[in-house]
């Protein structure tokens, strides 16, 4: 019998509406009721969590692990280590790999690889369309049987509304949520940055807000038509927030998520042509950021995540137009959200932030995670919400270094990550 007791921590467990100073017992990889242990184990690990938050292991439902096919950017092993260093015990990997996980055999490979080498739980998504081409549906029923937790073409967006409708209908049959990267290719064209003052000044092709909002509107209509959840990934515009808010008020099964870089940075950051600020969708205006923050505060946007998108240095060290979109985020996202939303803007409290990283994604994906209930898997994150620390990208666990936050000082971070009862990372 292996046992760990976490003493004197502030246990915040939104799933059970707990917020109290207490101890937490972990036995053989499970959350255990202390009163039910008649004979305590002879050897028990003691963790002093005084002045720390003890919460369910955090979930990031939007991560690119790049494997199979692009292991020079990231691997399942290195991405899992980065997740652990960020406080995450469950991550959901996106399907833009090579080969594309549009078939059960690739899903089986990812699951087998993750179970063999990942220090945290890695859950695969399946592609909506074959080869992410947006033309022919992948075998959604077979993907569900293979164990995907959702379907998405993230990194791409299905432009044919009829194809998307059928995908949602099939997903409803097998009870899978649909995740969508909202980008109308006709409106966006070759845009690489937010269409506005800075794109005009710098002479860079603009990516208009309407290019996102048109697909958000499409997804709302399809979620209503098919009566099935559609989740809009990495929302960035004030218009998207307004559309989702109005739809949710009418009871439509639509939801949205926010990434930290989209509230920490405006499009002004691109003025030096640093490709570490090039993301898709792009950094937006302060007006958009204000709307995103209000959407988080009022519950319109219910999930926080990273869109962790690693790239090798040589890929980013090119002209801005030619560089790939994306930044890494697993090791900075919790600190950024704590620093901005809880400490500086004071828009949400700690309990709500933890809820957006546990209960909300677990509910959408219908996974057994995000809770400290008795008998649950012992996935636990210890957080020092007052700790000030400097971001040192050169010390990251991720295989890539494409972060714009190097040198930033943040307040709050995970200090220990426990997965299945075992400490997989500690500060």
CB 110 within 8 A of CB 64: no
CB 182 within 8 A of CB 232: yes
> What H or E segment, with its residue span, contains residue 177?
none
d(CA 193, CA 280): 8
d(CA 210, CA 232): 15
Residues in the chain: 427
- In angstroms, the Cα distances linking 315 to 78, 98, 181, 194, 271 are 19, 17, 22, 21, 20
Selecting among 13, 307, 379, 384, the annotated active-site residue is 307
- In angstroms, the Cα distances linking 352 to 12, 247, 357 are 10, 22, 9
d(CA 48, CA 40): 18
Nearest alpha carbon to residue 126 among 153, 165, 157, 160: 153
Q: What is the CA radius of gyration of the chain?
A: 21
**C-alpha 426, offset from chain centre:** 21
Residue 118 carries which DSSP code? -
**Which residues are bridge partners to 137 per DSSP?**
129
CB 56 within 8 A of CB 84: no
Specify whether 267 is catalytic: no
List residues with catalytic annotation: 307
């Amino acid at each position: 019998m292996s046992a760990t007791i976490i003493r004197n921590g502030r246990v915040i467990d939104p799933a059970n509406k707990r917020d109290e100073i207490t101890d937490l017992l972990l036995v053989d990889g499970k959350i255990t009721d202390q009163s039910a242990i008649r004979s305590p184990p002879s050897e028990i690990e003691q963790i002093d969590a005084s002045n720390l938050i003890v919460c369910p292991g955090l979930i990031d439902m939007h991560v690119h692990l790049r494997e199979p096919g692009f292991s020079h950017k990231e691997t399942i092993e290195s991405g899992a280590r980065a997740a652990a260093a960020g406080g995450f015990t469950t991550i959901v990997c996106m399907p833009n790999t090579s080969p594309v996980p549009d078939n059960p055999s690739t899903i089986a490979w990812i699951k087998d690889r993750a179970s063999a080498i990942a220090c945290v739980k890695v859950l695969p998504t399946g592609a909506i369309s074959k080869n992410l081409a947006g033309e022919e549906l992948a075998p959604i029923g077979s993907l569900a049987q293979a164990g995907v937790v959702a379907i998405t073409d993230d990194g791409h967006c299905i432009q044919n509304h009829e194809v998307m409708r059928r995908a949602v209908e099939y997903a409803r049959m097998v009870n899978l949520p649909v995740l969508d990267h909202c980008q109308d290719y006709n409106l966006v064209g070759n845009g690489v940055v937010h269409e506005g003052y800075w794109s005009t000044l710098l002479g860079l092709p603009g990516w208009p807000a309407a290019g996102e909002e048109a697909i958000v509107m499409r997804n709302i209509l399809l979620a209503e038509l098919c009566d099935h959840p559609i989740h809009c990934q990495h929302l960035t515009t004030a218009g998207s927030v307004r559309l989702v808010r109005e739809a949710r008020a009418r009871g439509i099964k639509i939801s949205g998520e926010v990434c930290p870089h989209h509230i920490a940075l405006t499009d002004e950051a691109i003025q030096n042509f640093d490709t570490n600020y090039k993301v898709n969708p792009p950094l937006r205006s302060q007006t958009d950021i204000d709307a995103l923050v209000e959407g988080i505060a009022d519950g319109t946007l219910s999930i926080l995540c990273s869109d962790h998108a690693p790239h090798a240095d040589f890929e980013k060290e090119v002209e801005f137009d030619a560089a790939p979109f994306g930044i890494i985020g697993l090791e900075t996202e919790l600190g950024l959200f704590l620093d901005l939303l809880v400490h500086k803007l004071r828009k949400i409290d700690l309990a709500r932030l933890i809820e957006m990283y546990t209960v909300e994604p677990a509910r959408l994906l219908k996974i057994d995670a995000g809770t400290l209930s008795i008998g649950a898997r012992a996935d636990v994150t210890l957080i020092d919400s007052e700790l000030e620390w400097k971001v040192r990208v050169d010390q990251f666990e991720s295989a890539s270094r494409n972060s714009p936050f190097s040198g930033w000082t943040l307040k709050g971070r995970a200090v220990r990550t426990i997965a299945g009862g075992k400490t997989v990372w500690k500060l």
